[in-house]
Copies of this chain bind each other. A is one copy, B any other.
Amino acid sequence: MTEAIGNSSFDVITDEEYQRQCAVYEPFTDAVRRLIEAGIRTGVDAETLSGAQTEIEAIVDRLLAVQKPVPSIVRLADTGRPLSYANPTVGLRNAIAPPMGITHHDGPDGRCWAEFDLGLPYEGPPGLVHGGICALVLDQLLGEVASAGLTKPHFTGTITVRYLRGTPLGRVRAEAWVDRTDGVKTFARGTLSDAEGVTVEADGIFIRPQWARG
């Protein structure tokens, strides 16, 4: 089933199909995540690394021998929320994504939050999360609250990120909510925290596109 929302169309899948896809793709994507980190940590010699590279290239060839068009987003039948495959923060099939498992509250400010780990592949200064990775995860969360869990289209106008202190690698909590709305503009705020408290704050202005103002 395909549903048209604004100028995009989405496939709609059942919860059962969603669970099936998670069971297939999550463990594979986790294995690729571990490979990304192993590529940074490994101390094997050049010959062993080259052998691993040859095997990886053979796997890539086999995987790409069968391709189907990948919908950027499908919508879940039970919640109406979208499922992303490629998104680099939450994509089910993207090993770049930490992934953030985002929980949406149903309160009036559309609050959502996620707790997840940011390990060595997300490092900027030694032992700390890259500032741009903090911006990436907050951009995603602010965009989700501004668009009511991606059910109402909004484009990011401006995002401002304030770094209060470094965010240590490891477990983080990210949170966002709608601060206020003014006509076609939605003002969203968010924070990134470690166990000691807030490390990064973000403010974003999101704009409802012309075609969705009807």
Q: A114: CB under 8 A from chain B? A: no
Complex-state Cα separation, A27 to B66, whole angstroms: 24
Q: A213: CB under 8 A from chain B? A: no
Q: Which residue of B24, B41, B91 contacts A64 across the interface (Cβ within 8 Å)? A: B41
Complex-state Cα separation, A105 to B126, whole angstroms: 26
Number of copies of this kind of chain in the complex = 2
Q: A124: CB under 8 A from chain B? A: yes
- Chain B's closest residue to A41 (CB) is B67
Q: A159: CB under 8 A from chain B? A: yes
Query: Smallest distance from the beta carbon of A51 to chain B beta carbons, Å?
Result: 9
Query: B53 to A55, Cβ gap below 8 A?
Result: no
13 other A-B residue contacts (CB within 8 Å) besides A72-B125, A88-B122, A96-B122: A25-B39, A35-B56, A42-B64, A44-B66, A48-B63, A52-B63, A56-B56, A87-B130, A96-B121, A130-B140, A132-B140, A135-B136, A158-B162
Which are the 10 A-B pairs with shortest beta-carbon distances?
A: A132-B139, A132-B136, A43-B68, A42-B63, A135-B135, A72-B126, A38-B63, A31-B56, A160-B160, A43-B66
> Interface on A for B, CB 8 Å cutoff?
8, 24-25, 27-29, 31-32, 34-36, 38-46, 48-50, 52-53, 55-57, 59-60, 62-68, 70, 72-73, 85-89, 91, 93-96, 120-127, 130-133, 135-140, 143, 155-163, 166
